[in-house]
Amino acid sequence: MIDTHAHIYASEFDNDRDQVVERALAQGISKILLPNIDLDSIEPMLTTEAAYPQICRSMMGLHPCYVDGNVEQTLTTIHSWFNKHSFIAVGEIGIDLYWDKTYKVEQEYAFVTQLNWAKEMQLPVVIHTRDSIEETLALLEKEQDGSLSGVFHCFGGSVEEAKAINQLGFHLGLGGVSTFKNGGMDKVIPQLDMNYVILETDCPYLAPVPHRGKRNEPAYTQLVAQRVADLRQMSLQQIDELTTRNAKTLFNL
């Protein structure tokens, strides 16, 4: 099983990162993919990757919540990292209009710029959206020339949104939200195209039931998989095989 979206380099894990990785391995999690956030997260992310080279793989990108008036300069620095290190994806990138709309134009600029890096480097992209699915899909549709692939991470939308995402050739990252009783995903997950589903935690955030509200960790990918298996009336092993296959193909693992 692969946790395709985990921030285990975050300071929340500084006291017990070894144990967190051990618990993940014990639950059958063989790979943990690390999305970058901003300039400050690069160093801890690469240090974590170096500490667990068989398990952790890093991405490089600028998260929309960290886009500001300095976007041009920040993107130049982020881009320079692709010449210094091997990354499995451009991420996480996207648009977030939930917290702050001040830099909407800059967010869109950063998103499109990074989509074009992905095309040039033939890397998948990991997309974060919040209150911005229409804006994100419109830009992606404009940029999709057949060479872009990736995932809408932390998917919690409707069946229609899932179809629109799949039609653009993109995957859906299912995480803790899938297990929330009031999340509505019990109606959506049975209707998803399983060829486009991958699993994630987005830890330390969004822990699945029964750990909701507490710190999340990669071992809990198992709980998300079990929830998907229950809703699809499939075995855990079938969900594991399908989603692992999808993740390996998408991220070239």
Q: For 27-170, where are the alpha helices, taking DSSP H only?
A: 42-51, 71-80, 104-121, 133-143, 159-167
Contact range with Zn ion by CB under 5 A, out of 34-42, 95-103, 108-116, 210-218: 34-42
User: Measured from the CB of residue 221, what is the shortest distance to Zn ion in angstroms?
Assistant: 14
Q: Could you tell me the smallest distance in angstroms from the CB atom of residue 219 to Zn ion?
A: 17
Q: Give how many residues touch Zn ion by CB under 5 A.
A: 2
CB of 233 to Zn ion, least distance (A): 30
Q: How far apart are CA 181 and CA 134, in angstroms?
A: 26
- CB closer to Zn ion, 133 vs 231: 133
- Closest to 237 in 3D by CA, of 226, 250, 253, 223: 226
Minimum separation from the CB atom of position 35 to Zn ion (A): 5
Task: Name which of 231 and 243 has its Cβ closer to Zn ion.
Answer: 243
Contact present, 112 and 139 (Cβ < 8 Å): yes
What is the spatial distance between Cα 78 and Cα 62, in angstroms, rounded to a whole number?
7
CA dihedral 179, 64, 214, 180 (to 10 degrees): -20
Binding to Zn ion by CB under 5 A, coded x per residue (else -) over 201-230, reads -x----------------------------
Looking at beta carbons only, is 208 or 231 nearer to Zn ion? Answer: 208
Our CB check for Zn ion shows the closer of 52 and 66 to be 66
Structure tokens that stand for 210 in this block: 């029964």
Of the listed pieces 64-72, 185-193, 198-206, 210-218, which binds Zn ion according to CB under 5 A?
198-206
Given the complex with Zn ion, which of 202 and 217 has the nearer CB atom?
A: 202
Contacts of 36 (CB under 8 A, 6+ apart): 42, 45, 58, 59, 60, 61, 62, 63, 78, 91, 92
CB of 6 to Zn ion, least distance (A): 8
Residues at the contact surface with Zn ion, assessed by CB under 5 A: 35, 202
